[in-house]
């Protein structure tokens, strides 16, 4: 395992992205539990890659949610609902991952859901460059249904107790609701994911992100 500065981590990951060659746009998964720092890491990588002249596509699992009625059909605090019912994985493959994959037509949509209005979206497709890099952050990305659609897989690891503390500091919802959401829904859903999908076994990189400015990382064996 290596440990270093934030800049050293970003350099290591951009080198790995740069050295991964495909005959189609490169699809990078940035997985991990809520509040682990996935979105921040994806944005940092996007900035670094664009600085190198790469075309970057940024997208997130939050734009591939099902409407609330389906997401919470087993209950607002159900871990099973979080894992099984929250994300439209079929649409994600159909409009983004498969078009960017082998033999894909590269006409993509970045989203299928509007969280502000809780309604489906169908924006017009855009054309992706052949050498583009998709940086896609979200939870449950290394589950069996999606596993083979990624060309590089990064898992951001943070102790669950620390994710709760980080969520509290965001202050977007009452502390009691955050506490219950994490204890009853998000953490048990991540435990279910770990027990059934074993995501770290499939990661090319594991980023230990407990210390944001002094992260550690390990490169796994090449696939």
223 residues of the chain, pLDDT tens digit each:
999 999 999 999 999 999 999 999 999 999 999 999 999 999 999 999 999 999 999 999 999 999 999 999 999 999 999 999 999 999 999 999 999 999 999 999 999 999 999 999 999 999 999 999 999 999 999 999 999 999 999 999 999 989 888 888 876 677 888 889 999 999 999 999 999 999 999 999 999 999 999 999 999 865 4
177 Cβ contact list (under 8 Å, min separation 6): none
* Dihedral pair phi/psi, residue 186, rounded to 5°: -70, -50
**pLDDT, tens digit (0-9, with 9 covering 90-100), for 35-55:** 999 999 999 999 999 999 999
- What is the CATH code for 2-219? 3.40.50.300
**pLDDT, tens digit (0-9, with 9 covering 90-100), for 158-189:** 999 898 888 888 766 778 888 899 999 999 99
C-alpha separations of 110 from 13, 40, 98, 106 in Å? 23, 18, 13, 12
The span from the CA of 203 to the CA of 194, in Å, is 12
Task: Fill in the DSSP letter of residue 129.
Answer: P
The domain locations on the chain are 2-219
- Tokens 């270093």 belong to residue: 4
What does the pLDDT read at residue 24?
Answer: 98
Question: Within 10 Å of residue 130's Cβ, how many Cβ atoms?
Answer: 12
């Amino acid at each position: 395992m290596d440990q270093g500065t934030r800049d050293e981590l970003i350099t290591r990951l951009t080198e790995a992205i740069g050295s991964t060659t495909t005959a189609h746009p490169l699809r990078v998964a940035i997985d991990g539990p809520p509040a682990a720092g996935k979105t921040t890491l994806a944005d940092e990588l996007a900035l670094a890659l664009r600085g190198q002249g790469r075309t970057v596509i940024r997208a997130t699992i939050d734009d591939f949610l099902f409407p609330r009625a389906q997401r919470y059909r087993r209950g607002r605090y159900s871990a099973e609902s979080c894992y099984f019912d929250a994300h439209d994985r079929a649409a994600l493959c159909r409009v983004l991952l498969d078009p960017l994959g082998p033999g894909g037509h590269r006409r993509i949509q970045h989203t299928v859901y509007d969280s502000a209005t809780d309604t489906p979206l169908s924006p017009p497709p855009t054309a992706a460059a052949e050498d583009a890099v998709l940086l896609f952050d979200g939870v449950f990305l290394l589950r069996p249904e999606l596993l083979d659609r990624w060309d590089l897989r990064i898992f951001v690891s943070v102790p669950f107790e620390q994710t709760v503390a980080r969520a509290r500091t965001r202050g977007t919802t009452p502390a009691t609701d955050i506490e219950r959401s994490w204890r009853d829904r998000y953490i048990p859903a991540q435990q279910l994911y770990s027990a059934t999908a074993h995501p770290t076994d499939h990661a090319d990189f594991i980023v230990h992100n407990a210390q944001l400015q002094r992260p550690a990382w390990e490169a796994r064996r090449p696939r």
